[in-house]
């Protein structure tokens, strides 16, 4: 049974965020130079089938038959405060990444409050297994798999990357195969990494954690989902991004300090200026020159890591 206050908060966020995303993408359409494969089922939860779907986008220049040319892969982990979002609100951003020479896998995952953590981790693992199982059909270069995560998606991606690279932490998630695909590099965009940051009480993170976690956010649960607490030297090289005007700008140093302490290679960018601030996940906005710069720099970061 979903608590009424949790339902009200989730519905409020879904309404507010969906209106903003619809406005941002109102003039967007599928580019002529991209081929797309939509609504592919990757999970087995019949009740929440709408959240276990993925799309694949590829540049047409790599061949109409995707098996002709294998491309490096970018997996998109969407944001949305753990209660909102799906692949459809990231489709145009995903196709812009594909035009930069990648096969992009853009997936929805099960959300709170309908499904508590770690459902989103389970779905992420299923997506990576799907990529491995379908590499030939869709032209995936499984030696060069990358991922981008935004906001809550950056949090989820960081936790998943830790589960793949930290054997002790992985014991919390027995459904994750550490023998699965290797993440060669990731981009963490405008992320939330630590839930109990005293500097951000006004963001109502406590309520969102209560909605997300099975026990409502116990001390043990807070440690489990602290993305800055489980980074080891084997964590994938990371591009950490935020901007002036991002309400989570203070979170970036938390993950950067963890990366630096563990000796993980990373690059950091803070876009915008005090005179011209941007906003949370600005890089998804097709109308911004700064978004193009950010997306170029992240894709170039990945290309430098390719084997």
pLDDT one-digit tens code per residue, 42-82: 999 999 999 999 999 999 999 887 778 999 999 999 999 99
Topology at the third CATH level for domain 4-305: Rossmann fold (3.40.50)
> What number of other Cβ atoms are within 10 A of residue 41's Cβ?
10
CA–CA distance, 133 with 15 (Å, rounded to integer): 36
Is 70 exceeded by the pLDDT of residue 199? no
Give residue for tokens 């940051």. 197
> What number of other Cβ atoms are within 10 A of residue 157's Cβ?
27
Question: What mean pLDDT is predicted for residues 268-281?
Answer: 98
CA–CA distance, 128 with 142 (Å, rounded to integer): 10
Which ranges of the chain would DSSP assign to H, the alpha helix?
4-24, 91-98, 119-133, 135-138, 152-165, 167-170, 205-212, 219-224, 252-262, 289-305
Mean pLDDT, the chain, rounded, equals: 95
Is 60 exceeded by the pLDDT of residue 200? no
The pLDDT assigned to 65 comes to 77
CA–CA distance, 172 with 44 (Å, rounded to integer): 22
∠ at Cα 244 (242, 248), nearest 5°? 50
Tell me the β-bridge partners of 127.
none
Q: How many CA atoms lie within 13 A of 19 on its CB side?
A: 5
Is 90 exceeded by the pLDDT of residue 268? yes
- CA distances (Å), 49 to each of 41, 114, 239, in order? 8, 13, 32
- What radius of gyration do the chain's Cα atoms show? 18
Q: In the chain, what percentage of residues exceed pLDDT 90?
A: 93
Is 60 exceeded by the pLDDT of residue 203? no
Residue 92 contacts residue 36 (beta carbons within 8 Å): no
Residue 101 tokens read as 């020479």
∠ at Cα 198 (76, 78), nearest 5°? 10
Domain boundary assignment for the chain: 4-305
Question: What mean pLDDT is predicted for residues 258-281?
Answer: 98
Is 70 exceeded by the pLDDT of residue 202? no
Question: What mean pLDDT is predicted for residues 108-130?
Answer: 98
For 180, residues 6+ apart whose C-beta sits below 8 A from its C-beta are 125, 128, 129, 132, 164
Number of H helices and number of E strands within the chain?
Answer: 10, 8
Question: What mean pLDDT is predicted for residues 215-244?
Answer: 97
pLDDT band for position 198 (50/70/90)?
Answer: low
Is 80 exceeded by the pLDDT of residue 270? yes
The pairing of strands 103-107 and 140-150 is unpaired
Least confident of 82-91, 164-173, 197-206, 246-255: 197-206
The pLDDT assigned to 130 comes to 97
Question: What mean pLDDT is predicted for residues 233-249?
Answer: 98
pLDDT tens digits, 133-180: 999 999 999 999 999 999 999 999 999 999 999 999 999 999 999 877
Residue 240 contacts residue 252 (beta carbons within 8 Å): yes
Is 80 exceeded by the pLDDT of residue 197? no
Q: In the chain, what percentage of residues exceed pLDDT 70?
A: 97
Least confident of 11-20, 142-151, 178-187, 295-304: 178-187
Q: Which residues of 66-83 are buried (b: 16+ CB within 10 A; e: fewer)?
A: beeebbbbbbbbbbbbbb
The pLDDT assigned to 154 comes to 98
Give residue for tokens 């949090």. 155
């Amino acid at each position: 049974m979903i608590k009424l206050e949790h339902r009200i908060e989730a519905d409020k966020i879904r309404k507010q965020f969906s209106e903003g995303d619809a406005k941002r993408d109102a003039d967007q359409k599928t580019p002529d130079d991209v081929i797309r494969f939509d609504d592919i089922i990757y999970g087995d939860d019949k009740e929440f089938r709408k959240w276990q779907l993925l799309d694949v986008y590829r540049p047409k220049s790599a061949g109409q038959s995707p098996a002709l040319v294998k491309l490096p892969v970018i997996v998109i982990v969407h944001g949305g405060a753990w209660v909102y979002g799906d692949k459809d609100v990231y489709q145009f951003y995903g196709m812009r990444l594909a035009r930069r020479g990648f096969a992009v896998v853009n997936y929805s995952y099960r959300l709170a409050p309908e499904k508590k953590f770690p459902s989103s981790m389970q779905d992420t693992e299923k997506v990576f297994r799907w990529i491995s199982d379908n590499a030939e059909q869709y032209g995936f270069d499984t030696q060069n798999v990358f991922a981008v995560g935004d906001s809550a998606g950056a949090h989820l991606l960081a936790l998943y990357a830790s589960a793949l690279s930290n054997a002790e932490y992985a014991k919390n998630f027995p459904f994750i195969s550490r023998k699965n695909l290797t993440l060669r590099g990731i981009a963490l965009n405008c992320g939330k990494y630590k839930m109990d940051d005293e500097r951000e009480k006004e963001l109502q993170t406590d309520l969102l954690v209560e909605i997300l976690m099975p026990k409502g956010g116990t001390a043990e649960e807070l440690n489990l989902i602290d993305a800055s607490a489980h980074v080891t030297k084997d964590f994938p090289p990371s591009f950490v991004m935020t901007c002036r005007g991002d309400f989570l700008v203070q979170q970036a140093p938390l993950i950067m300090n963890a990366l630096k302490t563990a000796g993980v290679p990373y690059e950091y960018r803070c876009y915008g200026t005090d005179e011209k601030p941007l906003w949370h996940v600005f890089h998804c906005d097709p109308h911004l020159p700064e978004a193009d710069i950010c997306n170029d720099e992240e894709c170039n970061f990945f290309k430098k890591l390719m084997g």
